[in-house]
């Protein structure tokens, strides 16, 4: 509803207006009444009304002076003037201040209604324009963020430099010191990469700025890496806060921070060095900083040996040979590109012999900094363990797992845990669930939990959010609300109303 205040020094007129306006029919509510122009500003500050009906002549501060003060402060009220004077000068001043109505006493009901409807129309037009402006601004921010992420990706690949595109990446106040903060985005339990979007980056930045007074620029140059530039003195707290945001979205991350830099050339040098440092942290080896380009390590001889094992379905022998070659790669102070190419090549060879590896191979091929999909050497080798099993009863297997999930939504559910219960490889199980349900494991669990939550809210609209989250296996009610809103488009508090 739109809020209205009435300002007139005659209480009888105020009472008459209150009784003659069809408040509910017009979608209006009366927020306050005052009889002195000097009190109107306090009333406006307390109630933030949309429409003001005011007498043109009042003690201390008359209507025209009041309107001039409101307009000088940029307050976008719709104003309807009541006057006992059919005076051109007053009328001209009212027109100059763009009032919605100028009503002569005695006030006619139809004229009052017409002025109120005109004011409401103006308010709706303002809302439409404001919404269009917000939409355009959000679109502009998204495009700017995507462009910056693409440019950073180009810098990492060596086809762009920070000197040429630094201003596109971020507006930095050199020589003030900054730091790169890099966050790995590893494979999830279902074998897919995290679904971080441009909108998520904007939301993270907004939370940091408005809730924690921390400024940073976030980028998504790859599906495996979230990058941030933060002022040097805020870098530690930004690291902690971004890690919390990622954890709330179900992403366990490893991060690395650069040395401080104070120039565009230092910005690029520290970026490449920190990527190499993050690789070294994950794979317990020393990496040589270099652009992420295709850098072969495995040879044709290696391909023949691995292909021989795979053609005989000797996955154990293949894995043992790959493990040896991986160790040789890691002890040679490789570049990130060496390990990325190693991983992409091996998954390509595996997918040539086993369709179960198609999904992983496609993800690796598409990923810049593909190695960051894995959290350790062991994680790489585990992803190469056989995942194929007889398909004759794959549908019933998947439905058995889904049934178990539905019966245990109040428990912590992970693919590793389900793999042990159902005696399947967790990656295979994730692929099986996605094939049969059309969605990744985590997405399926969240969907089932939200559907159960809606059912529980319908049965008990007064259920507490913390209790609801706990009964559905969420330890954090804030994260549960975020998941609920992402799936339904509304927070849990509005779910009961939407069912009415």
Residue 73: strand pairing partners? none
Fold: same for 2-107 and 394-498:
no
**Strand segments (E) across 92-224:** 101-104, 178-184, 217-222
Whether the CB-CB separation of 91 and 67 falls below 8 Å is answered with: no
Give ∠ CA 33-39-43 in degrees, rounded to 5.
Answer: 55
CA distances from 205 to 214, 232, 233, 333 (A): 8, 17, 17, 36
pLDDT at position 390 is: 43
DSSP-derived pairing of the beta strands 255-257 and 178-184: antiparallel
Instruction: Tell me which CATH code domain 2-107 carries.
Output: 3.40.50.2300
Q: At what angle do helices 198-212 and 235-248 cross, to 10 degrees?
A: 130
End-to-end CA distance of the chain: 20
Which residue ranges make up each domain of the chain?
2-107, 149-277, 300-383, 394-498
Q: Say if CB 373 and CB 186 are below 8 A apart.
A: yes
Q: Kind of pairing, strands 178-184 and 78-83?
A: unpaired
- How is residue 175 annotated by DSSP? T
The closest alpha carbon to 396, from 417, 362, 416, 424, belongs to 424
Contact 295, 337 (CB under 8 A): yes
What is the C-alpha separation between 396 and 436, in angstroms, rounded?
9
- Residue 90 near residue 56 (C-beta atoms within 8 A): yes
Q: What is the DSSP string of 210-263?
A: HHH----EEEEEETTEEEEEEEGGGHHHHHHHHHHHHHHTT----EEEPPPB-S
Q: pLDDT tens string for the chain (500 positions)? A: 899 999 888 899 999 999 999 999 999 999 999 887 778 888 888 888 999 998 877 766 666 777 777 777 777 789 998 887 666 556 666 666 678 888 888 889 999 999 999 999 999 988 888 777 777 888 888 999 999 999 999 999 999 999 999 888 888 888 899 999 999 999 988 788 998 999 999 999 999 999 999 989 999 999 999 999 999 999 999 999 999 999 988 899 999 999 999 999 999 999 999 999 999 999 999 999 999 888 899 999 999 999 999 888 888 999 999 999 999 999 999 999 999 999 999 999 999 888 888 889 999 999 999 999 999 999 999 999 875 444 445 567 778 888 889 988 988 888 888 887 877 777 778 878 888 888 888 889 999 999 999 988 888 888 888 888 888 988 888 888 888 988 888 888 776 555 43
The Cα 174–Cα 178 span in angstroms is: 9
Residue 279 CA to its chain's centroid (Å): 26
**Could you say which DSSP state residue 107 is in?**
P
Mode of pairing for the β-strands spanning 51-55 and 101-104: unpaired
Nearest-CA neighbor of 77 among 54, 102, 57, 49? 49
Helix (H) or strand (E) holding 5: strand 2-7
> DSSP states of 316-361 as a string?
HHHHHHHHHHHHHHHTT---HHHHHHHHHHHHHHHHHH-GGGHHHH
Burial class (CB in 10 A: 0-12, 13-18, 19+), 51: buried
Bridge partners, residue 184, by sequence:
225
Tokens coding 275: 């990527």
3-state DSSP call for residue 112? Answer: helix
**What letter would DSSP give residue 413?**
-
Length of the chain: 500
Specify the DSSP element, H or E, that contains 80.
strand 78-83
Which CATH class, in words, describes the domain spanning 149-277? alpha beta
Instruction: At 343, give phi and psi (nearest 5°).
Output: -65, -45
Which residues make beta-bridge pairs with 181?
228, 257
Distance CA 471, CA 285 (A): 44
SS3 21: coil
CATH of domain 394-498: 1.10.10.60
Task: Assess whether the previous peptide bond of 106 is cis (omega < 30° from 0).
Answer: yes
Query: Residue 8 burial by CB count (10 A; 0-12/13-18/19+): exposed, middle or buried?
Result: buried
Report the interhelical angle of 358-366 vs 336-353 (nearest 10°): 150
User: Strand pairing partners for 256?
Assistant: 182
DSSP letter (8 states) at residue 384: T
State pTM to two decimals.
Answer: 0.65
* CA–CA separation, 16 and 436 (whole Å): 68
Which token pair is 281?
């942290």
pLDDT at 375: 95
């Amino acid at each position: 509803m739109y809020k209205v205040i009435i300002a007139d020094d005659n209480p009888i007129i105020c009472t008459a207006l209150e009784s003659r306006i069809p408040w509910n029919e017009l979608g209006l509510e009366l927020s306050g009444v005052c009889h002195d122009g000097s009190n109107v500003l306090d009333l406006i500050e307390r109630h933030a009304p949309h429409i003001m009906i005011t007498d043109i002549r009042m003690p201390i501060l008359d209507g025209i002076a009041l309107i001039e003060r409101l307009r000088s402060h940029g307050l976008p009220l719709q104003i309807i003037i009541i006057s006992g004077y059919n005076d051109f000068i007053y009328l001209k001043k009212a027109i100059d201040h763009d009032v919605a109505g100028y009503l002569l006493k005695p006030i006619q009901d139809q004229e009052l209604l017409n002025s109120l409807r005109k004011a409401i129309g103006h308010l709706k037009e303002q809302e439409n324009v404001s919404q269009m402006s917000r939409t355009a601004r959000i679109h502009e921010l998204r495009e700017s963020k995507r462009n910056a992420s693409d440019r950073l990706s180009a810098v990492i690949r060596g086809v762009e430099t920070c000197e040429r595109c630094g201003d596109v990446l971020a507006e930095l106040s050199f020589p003030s010191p900054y730091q790169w903060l890099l966050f790995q985005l590893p494979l999830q339990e279902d074998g897919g990469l995290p679904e971080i979007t441009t909108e998520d980056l904007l939301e993270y930045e907004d939370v940091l700025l408005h809730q924690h007074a921390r400024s940073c620029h976030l980028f998504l140059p790859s599906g495996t890496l979230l990058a941030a530039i933060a002022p040097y003195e805020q870098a530690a707290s930004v690291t902690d806060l971004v890690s919390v945001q990622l954890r709330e979205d179900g992403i366990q991350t490893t991060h690395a921070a650069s040395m401080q830099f104070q120039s565009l050339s230092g910005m690029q040098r520290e970026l490449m060095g920190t990527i190499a440092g993050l690789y070294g942290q994950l794979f317990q080896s020393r990496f040589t900083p270099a652009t992420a380009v295709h850098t072969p390590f495995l040879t044709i001889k290696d391909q023949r040996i691995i292909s021989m094992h795979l053609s005989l379905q000797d996955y154990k022998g293949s894995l043992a040979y790959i493990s040896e070659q991986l160790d040789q790669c890691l002890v040679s102070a490789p570049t990130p590109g060496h390990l990325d190419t190693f991983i992409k090549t091996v998954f390509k060879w595996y997918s040539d012999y086993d369709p179960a590896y198609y999904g992983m191979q496609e993800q690796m091929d598409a990923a810049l900094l593909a190695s960051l999909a894995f959290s350790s050497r062991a994680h790489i080798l585990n992803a190469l363990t056989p995942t194929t099993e007889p398909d004759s009863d794959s549908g019933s297997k998947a439905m058995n797992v889904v049934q178990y999930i539905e019966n245990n939504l109040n428990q912590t559910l992970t693919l590793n845990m389900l793999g042990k219960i159902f005696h399947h490889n967790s990656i295979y199980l994730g692929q099986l669930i996605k094939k049969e349900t059309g969605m990744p494991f985590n997405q399926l669990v969240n969907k089932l939990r939200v559907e159960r939550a809606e059912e529980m809210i319908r049965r008990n609209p007064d259920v507490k959010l913390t209790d609801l989250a706990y009964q559905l296996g969420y330890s954090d009610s804030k994260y549960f609300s975020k998941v609920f809103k992402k799936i339904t488009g509304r927070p849990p508090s509005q779910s009961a109303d939407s069912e009415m």
